[in-house]
Structure 1
Amino acid sequence: MGVSTSAPENGVRVVTADFPPVNALPVQAWYDLANAVRAAGRDQAVRCVVLAATGRGFNAGVDIKELQRATDHSALIAVNHACAEAFAAVYECEVPVVAAVQGHCLGGGIGLAGNADAIVASEDATFGLPELDRGALGAATHLARLVPPHVMRALYFTSRTIGAAELRAHGSVWQVVPRDELEKAALELAREIAAKDGHLIRLAKAAINGIDPVDVRRSYRFEQGFTFEAALSGTADRVRDTFGKEGNA
C-alpha cells in the first residue's frame, strides 16, 4: 500500500497509487504522489510519466474519515494544500503525463486526470465531482479541462458522473480500451511519446503549458477559498453528515 514508482522500459516511469479499497487518499499520500511525479519528471532519463492506480478505481478523492476525525480545521487546511500540490505536480511535471484511468475517477481524481497531458481510460471508467453531495467544493478547474463549459456546470451542480466513451466524444480522452488492456494501452502511448528527443519533449511541455488560457494552480486555489468558507460556516459538516459514512469523496 502506498505510492510506488517503476520503470517498465527506457524513458518511461509509472507512478502508481495503491490505497485500498477505493484509493481515497489521506493527506500524506497526496504529498507522496506529488513527490513521486516531480522526481520522475526531474530524471533526465525520463521522457514520459504514466500515472496509474491499483484496484477497482483510479481515485476516489480525499479520505473523508481523516477530516471527520479532526477536532479543528487543521485537517482541511492540510488536505487543501496536499491536493493542490499533487494536482500541480502533474501539471508542472517536466515531461508529459499520461493518466491510466480505470473504474471511478472522482473528486481529487478529476484534479489528477484533468491536469494530465493525455488520458487512456478503461471502458468502465467514470468521471465526476460528487463534491456538493459531500460537503465540499473544488476541482471544477480540472473538470473544465475535460468537458465543455455547460456540461461541466451541469455535472458539477448535479454531482453526476460521465463515462469514458462520452469523454472521448468530447475529445478529452485519447483512447478507451477494455480494462485488461489499460496498462498496455497507456504504456504504448507513453512509449510513443518517450521516443522523442528528451530535451525537445521538455521544451514542448513547457511551451504548451505556457499557452494554456487558464492558470490551473491559481484557479484551483481560488476554488479552495470557497471550500474553506463552507467549512467555517458549518455547511460542509452538515452536508457531509447527511451523506453517510463511506469515508470517501
Structure 2
Amino acid sequence: MSTPVVRTERVGTTLLITLDRPQARNAVDAEVAIGLTGALDELEAAPALRAGVLTGAGGTFSAGMDLKAALRGVSPEIAGRGFGGLTEAEPAKPLIAAVEGFAMGGGFELALACDLIVAAEDARFGLPEVKRGLIAAGGGVIRLPKRIPYHLAMELLLTGEPVDGRRAGELGLANRVTAGGQAVAEALLLAERLAENAPLALAAVKRVVRAADGAPDSEAFAFQRGEMKTLMASADVTEGMTAFAERRPARWTGR
C-alpha cells in the first residue's frame, strides 16, 4: 500500500493538511493535487472542523509544480479548482498556510490562495517562473499585486528573486513570522482564535470579500445585504447576542 502524499490530522477543531513528498520538496504533481482536493473536501464536510492549516513535510512547504511530471504531460491542476486543487477553489472555511523552508512558484501560489500566512523567518518565498520562460499562472500574477504594493509585487514577478520570511512579514504577506520550526504551532494557535468566532460569519466574510473584489461599491453592498439578511435569521446570531449579554463564551452550532 502506497504512502499518501497528502496527510490530514484533526487537531481540535482544525484540520492539519500536510503535503508529504519531502524527497521531491513537496512538489505538486497530479497525485498531490488529488490528495489536496480530498483534504479540502474533508475540511468542508466536517461540521466540527472550523479551519484548516496547510503545510509541508520535511522542513519545506512546497517547491511548486513538479517539472519532471509536467514534462511527461502530467497536469497538477484539478478542473474548476486550479493548481494543486486549491488556487481556483473557494473553500468556505478559513485556511492558513504554515510555511517552513521553500514556498517557490506554485508553492508560493498555494500560500497566496490561503486566507492567512504564518511564515518561519528563514522561509523562502519566490515566483521564479520568468526564469523558466513562464509566468506565475497559478494565481501569482493575479494575487500578488493585490496583496502588496504594485512596484514591490512587480519586482518579485519580474526578477523571479525570492524573499525570506522576515521580509514577507515586512511586506505584509505574512500575518505572523516565527522562529524556524515554529510555523505550524503558531498557525494552529491562530486557527484556535478563529474557531472562537461564528462559523457562518467566517464563511460570510470570505464570500463578501470575494464578491467585493473589483466590484463597484453599490454591487458589493447589495451582495453584503443578502449575507446580512441570512446571518440575522440564523440561530448563531441569537446565540452570539445572548452570550454577550450573559457574559459567557458563545456555543456555536453553525445554524
Tell me if structure 2 keeps the 8 A contact 1:47–1:201. no
Q: Residue 223 of structure 1 corresponds to which residue in structure 2?
A: none
How far the C-alpha of 1:80 sits from its partner, in A, is 4.7
1:8 Cα deviation (Å)?
Answer: 1.1
Tell me: CA distance 1:125–1:145, structure 2 relative to 1, closer, same or farther (3 Å): farther
Give, in whole Å, the separation in 2 of the partners of 1:38 and 1:150: 36
Instruction: Pick closer, same or farther for the CA change 1:149–1:125 going to 2, 3 Å.
Output: same
Pick aligned residue for 2:34 from 24, 27, 31:
31
Aligned pair in 2 of structure 1 residues 171, 140: CA closer, same or farther (>3 Å)? same
Instruction: Measure how far apart 1:39 and its partner are.
Output: 2.7
Letter in 2 for 1:49: G
Report the alpha carbon displacement of residue 96 of structure 1 after superposing the two structures with TM. 0.8
Alignment correspondent of 1:55? 58
Distance 1:109 1:213 in 2: 25
Query: Secondary structure at the residue paired with 1:144?
Result: helix
Letter in 1 for 2:166: A
Query: CA-to-partner distance for each residue in 1:114-151, whole Å, 9 max, x for gaps?
Result: 11111000011111111122232223123334432111
Q: 1:189 to 1:123 in 2, by over 3 A?
A: same
Deviation at 1:63, TM superposition (A): 0.8
- The structure, 1 or 2, with the larger RCO (C-alpha pairs under 8 Å, 6+ apart) is 1
Tell me what 1:19 maps to: 21
- Matches of 2:19 and 2:125, distance apart in 1: 17
Within 5 Å, give how 1:107-126 maps onto structure 2.
Answer: 107-126=105-124
2:197 and 2:118 mapped to 1: Cα distance?
A: 20
The structure 1 segments of at least 4 consecutive aligned residues displaced by more than 6 Å after TM superposition are: none
Partners of 2:32 and 2:84 within 8 A in 1 = no
TM-score (normalised: structure 2): 0.74
1:136 paired residue among 134, 149, 157: 134
Q: Which amino acid aligns with 1:79?
A: P
Q: Which residue of 2 aligns with 1:148?
A: 149
Shift in CA distance, 146/167, structure 1 to aligned 2, threshold 3 Å:
farther
Q: State the 1:57 CA deviation.
A: 1.3
| 1:208-223 equivalences in 2 (<5 Å) | 208-213=209-214
Shift of 1:161: 0.4
Matching of residues 79-94 of structure 1 within 5 Å: 79-81=76-78, 83=83, 85-89=85-89, 92-94=90-92
Return the letter of the residue paired with 1:88.
E
Q: Which runs of 5+ in 1 are unaligned?
A: 215-249
What number of residue pairs does the alignment pair up? Answer: 205
Whole-Å separation in 1 of the counterparts to 2:108 and 2:143: 6
How high is the TM-score relative to the length of structure 1? 0.76
Structure number with larger C-alpha Rg? 2
Deviations 1:156-176 (A, max 9, x none): 111100122222112221111
Amino acid at match of 1:12: T
Secondary structure of the corresponding residue to residue 173 of structure 1: coil
Q: Give the Cα separation in 2 of the matches to 1:145 and 1:113.
A: 14
1:199 positional shift: 2.1
Of residues 1, 6, 13, the one that matches 1:3 is: 6
Shift of residue 3, structure 1, vs aligned partner: 0.6
Quick one: which amino acid aligns to residue 196 of structure 1? Answer: N
Structure 2 residue matching 1:86: 3-state secondary structure: coil
Counterparts of 1:180 and 1:62, CA distance in 2: 24
Question: 1:240 corresponds to which residue?
Answer: none
